[in-house]
Amino acid sequence: MAEEPIDLIRLEGDGNSVVLRISGRGGQPGHGGTGALSGEFVVDTPFVRGSLATSLLPEDLSRWQQALDGLDTGQNIAWREGQRAPWLLVELDDAADRCHVTVKDPSRSLTAVTVTVPLPDAWFDDAYQRLDRVWETWPPAGD
């Protein structure tokens, strides 16, 4: 039976959202081996809508854990920066309890979109739970 998609990343509010939805195993051809997960970035605002397919390897999930830890301590993060895969940049705006989220596609569309969303403290617990659900649903191959 196929697993339901899981939103690994969900940043939303004020009519804007950035989501990274994981749909299962089987990354895009040429973008990872059998342990790769298929995913899709979905950006939705009143002004712009778009989606971008991507693949994630187990090390991407480990790096997302590190990125969450950094965000939780007040650092800006750049997840998957420098890779051929889409990047996610999160810049905190401490004065307003919000963040500026950029999804950047450096290899295919050569496009970047930045969206501003609220980032309440409660978001972090939810984000760690989402990551745990992805690990539990699709453990690394060989585990």
The contacts of residue 129 (CB under 8 Å, 6+ apart) are none
pTM above 0.85, yes or no: yes
Q: Read off the pLDDT band of 96 (50, 70, 90).
A: confident
Instruction: Using the predicted structure, report yes or no on whether residue 1 has a pLDDT greater than 60.
Output: no
Average pLDDT over residues 86-95: 94
Instruction: Using the predicted structure, report yes or no on whether residue 21 has a pLDDT greater than 50.
Output: yes
Whole-number Å distance between alpha carbons of 143 and 138:
10
CATH of domain 6-137: 2.30.31
pLDDT of residue 31: 47
Tokens of 7: 């939103």
Mean pLDDT of the chain: 92
**Within 13 Å and on the Cβ side, how many CA atoms surround 54?**
27
Average pLDDT over residues 23-33: 66
